[in-house]
Amino acid sequence: METGLMTLIKPSVWSYLESNIPQEDYLFARPGVPDVSLRLLCALDGHGQRHLLVKLQPNERELEDRHSRGVIVLTRVLSLQEEPPARYIDLIFVTQPWEHLSLEKYLTLKTATLRGASHLPRA
């Protein structure tokens, strides 16, 4: 059985976000798996699309992937609450959330970031 990222994120995180949909140009975010990493946030945009945000360290490179099925990967500078702006990898789910993204895909993304890749291989 494949272990999906969804199994790490409690459904209550998404339920909370869905009860507070932000204005169109904003994201509403919460820690996704705070007992594992504070760098991973779950977010919902004003259109109800789910996002995973991974805060980049200063030495980590940006990523972009617009070719994988079900997800778009961008690097964005975001201001979250009272923190200074920071770079985040933004995984935007464009089909049913979690339909195509597995934990392995996420780990591939993170590994590629750490190695300095600018694009991910096609899914």
Give the pLDDT confidence score for residue 110 in this predicted structure.
Answer: 58
pLDDT grade for 1, boundaries at 50, 70 and 90: very low
Residue 23 included in any domain: yes
Top pLDDT among 3 and 16 is at 16
Domain range for residue 99?
A: 5-114
10-51 tens-digit pLDDT: 888 888 999 988 887 889 999 988 888 888 899 999 888 889
Residue 76 included in any domain: yes
58-67 tens-digit pLDDT: 998 898 988 8
Residue 119 included in any domain: no
For the chain, the domain total comes to 1
pTM of the predicted model as reported, rounded to 2 decimal places: 0.71
Long-range contacts of 96-100 (CB under 8 A, 24+ apart): 96/70, 97/6, 97/14, 97/50, 98/4, 98/5, 98/6, 99/70, 100/68, 100/69, 100/70, 100/71
